[in-house]
Amino acid sequence: MEVAKRMKAIPPYVFAAIGKRAAEKAAAGVDVINLGIGDPDQPTPKHIVDAMHKAIDDPVNHRYPPFGGTPAFKQAASKWCKTRFGIDIDPASEITSLIGTKEGLHNIIMAYVDAGDITLVPDPAYPVYQNSTYLAGGTPHFMPLLPERGYLPSLAAIPQNIAQKAKLMLINYPNNPTAGVCDLAFLEEVVAFARKHDILLVSDLAYSEMTFDGYKAHSIFEIPGAKDIAIELQTLSKAFNMTGWRVGYAIGNQEAVKNLAAIKSNIDTDIFRAIQMAAIAAFEGPQDHIALCNKLYTGRRDLAIKNLRKLGWSVEPNKATFYMWLPVPKGMTSNDFSTMMLDKCGIVVPPGTAYGPSGEGYFRISLCCDEARLQQAFDRMVEHAVYFEPQAAKV
Q: Decide if 126 contacts 355 (C-beta within 8 A).
A: yes
Out of 284, 300, 335, a domain closes at 284
- Position 82 in a domain: yes
- C-alpha 78/C-alpha 90 separation (Å) is 7
Number of domains in the chain: 2
Q: Per-residue pLDDT tens for 18-66? A: 888 889 999 999 999 999 989 999 999 999 999 999 999 999 999 999 9
Q: Which residues pair with 365 in a beta bridge?
A: 324
Both 163 and 134 in a single domain? yes
- Position 223 in a domain: yes
Q: What is the pLDDT of residue 394?
A: 46
Q: What is the pLDDT of residue 389?
A: 80
Both 317 and 250 in a single domain? no
Q: What is the pLDDT of residue 126?
A: 96
Q: What is the pLDDT of residue 391?
A: 57
Q: Per-residue pLDDT tens for 196-229? A: 999 999 999 999 999 999 999 999 999 999 999 9
Both 82 and 171 in a single domain? yes
- Position 394 in a domain: no
Both 88 and 102 in a single domain? yes
Rg (CA), the chain: 21
Length of the chain (residues): 395
Q: Per-residue pLDDT tens for 288-300? A: 999 999 999 999 9
- Position 163 in a domain: yes
Both 95 and 21 in a single domain? no
Both 245 and 113 in a single domain? yes
Amino acid at 67: F
- The CATH number of residue 267's host domain is 3.40.640.10
Both 338 and 369 in a single domain? yes
Amino acid at 102: K
Both 33 and 81 in a single domain? no
* Predicted model pTM: 0.95
- The CATH number of residue 376's host domain is 3.90.1150.10
Both 139 and 250 in a single domain? yes
What b/e readout covers 314-352, taking b as 16+ CB neighbours within 10 angstroms?
ebeebbbbbbbbbbbbeeeebbebbebbbeebbbbbbbb
Query: Domain containing 352: what range?
Result: 5-43+288-389
Q: Which residues contact 339 (CB under 8 A, 6 or more apart)?
A: none
